[in-house]
């Protein structure tokens, strides 16, 4: 992966919350990004907008972006509903004409668009639709419960709250502690970053849980931990079904709750976010009908907090819930790995503990 040169399209939406894919790729693969296309923030550098990462150029026009020498054109914004806005179409065409690989996480497959496909065929460019999923997924039947690896699912108090980031950080922390750990992506951004997975919200509804089951079974061999990226929220009016399907399909041994302390209402629907103990109880209950799975800790999304505020929130959340809480981006997810190990879950102990590498 390290030899990609990525130009990220984030037109009109570049920022931490609106351009989730763009932000995550800049966070976890900064060496691969050559610049960002966004006419609103153009002229600034990415670190000025995001508050982290290297100072990558933001440009307003495709020509300026192509001048940065990209080989990959990533659509780094996921509009609600997932379809390609007409305004972006001209830029996609330009990127294809320039021979770049266009990578898209949109629901509408660019590869199925006759005009775009024709341009790609002419220029030798390729189109990768991240949401393409296999057509032979099973109906889930609790098979994921049988793997030896500890399966940890991230769940959240809203959508777009940091479940993918928390999962990546959990896997990184586990590896730093000497464990074999897989990040199992279930969304387009995680899949673009790498890992064995598929975009579960693209799957036909009957097979969502089966997709989660498949992802766990694919990732588990040889691992101590599989960190499954969660999706949506159990109380999101549009996406709750995907969330429950992931819980029942992946059959987690433990869950980590992801929460942004300063978010009081949900982003899309402005529903008041209920207290964390209620969220914890709800998730443990819905998972527990089929298999017990504690929420072992809270991953704080502190993108808008400084270090001391994030620490203060962690203390407050621990007081409210009795669980460890940490902003894994700022401080690492090690306390959450410790929390999983401390539970004495009903699985073989991770190998690294036996090797003396853990704790």
The contact set with its own copies (CB under 8 A) reads 80-82, 107, 138-142, 200-206, 208-210, 234-246, 248-249, 268-269, 271, 274, 289-290
Give the shortest CB-138-to-its own copies separation in angstroms: 7
Give the shortest CB-206-to-its own copies separation in angstroms: 4
Nearest CB to its own copies, comparing residues 208 and 340: 208
Nearest CB to its own copies, comparing residues 206 and 315: 206
Give the shortest CB-286-to-its own copies separation in angstroms: 8
Nearest CB to its own copies, comparing residues 202 and 311: 202
CA triple 11-95-50, angle to 5 deg: 35
Tokens standing for residue 51: 């508050």
Nearest CB to its own copies, comparing residues 100 and 273: 273
Nearest CB to its own copies, comparing residues 287 and 310: 287
For residues 345 and 335, give the distance between their C-alpha atoms in angstroms, rounded to a whole number: 16
C-alpha dihedral, 236 to 184 to 140 to 150, nearest 10°: -110
Give the shortest CB-300-to-its own copies separation in angstroms: 23
Using left for φ > 0, alpha for ψ between -120 and 50, and beta otherwise, residue 186 falls in alpha
Instruction: Calculate helix-pair angle for 276-288, 307-321, nearest 10 degrees.
Output: 60
Q: Which string of b and e fits 207-231 if b means at least 16 CB within 10 Å? A: bbbbbbbbbbbebbeebbbbbbbbb
Separation in Å, CA 132 to CA 93, 128, 140, 205, 339:
20, 9, 20, 15, 36
Give the shortest CB-147-to-its own copies separation in angstroms: 15
Give the shortest CB-94-to-its own copies separation in angstroms: 26
Closest Cα partner for 296 from 331, 333, 332, 348? Answer: 333
Residue 211: partners with Cβ closer than 8 Å, 6 or more residues away: 133, 137, 186, 198, 200, 203, 249
**Terminal-to-terminal C-alpha distance of the chain:** 31
For residues 359 and 342, give the distance between their C-alpha atoms in angstroms, rounded to a whole number: 10
Nearest CB to its own copies, comparing residues 72 and 243: 243
Give the shortest CB-170-to-its own copies separation in angstroms: 23
Count of beta carbons in the 10 Å neighbourhood of residue 320:
14
Nearest CB to its own copies, comparing residues 82 and 111: 82
Nearest CB to its own copies, comparing residues 140 and 295: 140
Give the shortest CB-123-to-its own copies separation in angstroms: 28
């Amino acid at each position: 992966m390290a030899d990609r040169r990525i130009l990220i399209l984030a037109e009109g939406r570049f920022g931490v919350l609106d351009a989730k894919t763009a932000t995550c790729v800049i966070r976890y693969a900064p060496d691969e990004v050559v610049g960002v296309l966004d006419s609103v923030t153009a002229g600034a550098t990415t670190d000025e907008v995001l508050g982290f990462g290297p100072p990558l150029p933001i440009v307003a026009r495709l020509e300026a972006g192509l001048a940065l020498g990209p080989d990959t054109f990533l659509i780094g914004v996921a509009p609600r509903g997932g379809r390609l806005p007409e305004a972006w179409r001209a830029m996609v065409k330009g990127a294809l004409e320039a021979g770049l690989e266009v990578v898209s996480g949109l629901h509408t497959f660019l590869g199925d668009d006759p005009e775009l496909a024709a341009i790609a065929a002419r220029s030798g460019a390729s189109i990768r639709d991240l949401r393409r999923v296999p057509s032979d997924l099973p109906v889930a039947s609790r098979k994921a419960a049988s793997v030896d690896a500890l399966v940890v699912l991230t769940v959240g108090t809203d959508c777009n709250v940091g479940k993918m980031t928390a999962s990546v950080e959990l896997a990184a922390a586990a590896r730093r502690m000497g464990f074999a750990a897989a990040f199992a992506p279930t969304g387009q951004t995680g899949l673009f970053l790498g890992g064995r997975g598929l975009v579960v919200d693209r799957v036909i509804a009957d097979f969502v849980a089966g997709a989660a089951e498949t992802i766990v079974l694919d990732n588990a061999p040889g691992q101590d931990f599989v960190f499954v990226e969660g999706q949506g929220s159990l109380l999101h009016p549009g996406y709750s079904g995907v969330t429950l399907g992931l819980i029942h399909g992946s059959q987690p041994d433990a869950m980590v709750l992801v929460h942004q302390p300063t978010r009081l209402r949900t982003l899309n629907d402005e529903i008041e976010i209920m207290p964390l103990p209620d969220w914890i109880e709800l998730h443990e209950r819905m998972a527990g009908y089929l298999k017990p799975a504690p929420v072992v800790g809270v991953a704080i999304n502190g993108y808008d907090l400084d270090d001391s505020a994030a620490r203060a929130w962690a203390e407050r959340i621990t007081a409210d819930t009795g669980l460890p809480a940490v902003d894994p981006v700022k401080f690492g997810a090690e306390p959450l790995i410790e929390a999983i190990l401390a539970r004495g879950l009903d699985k073989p102990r991770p190998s690294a503990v036996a090797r003396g590498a853990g704790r």
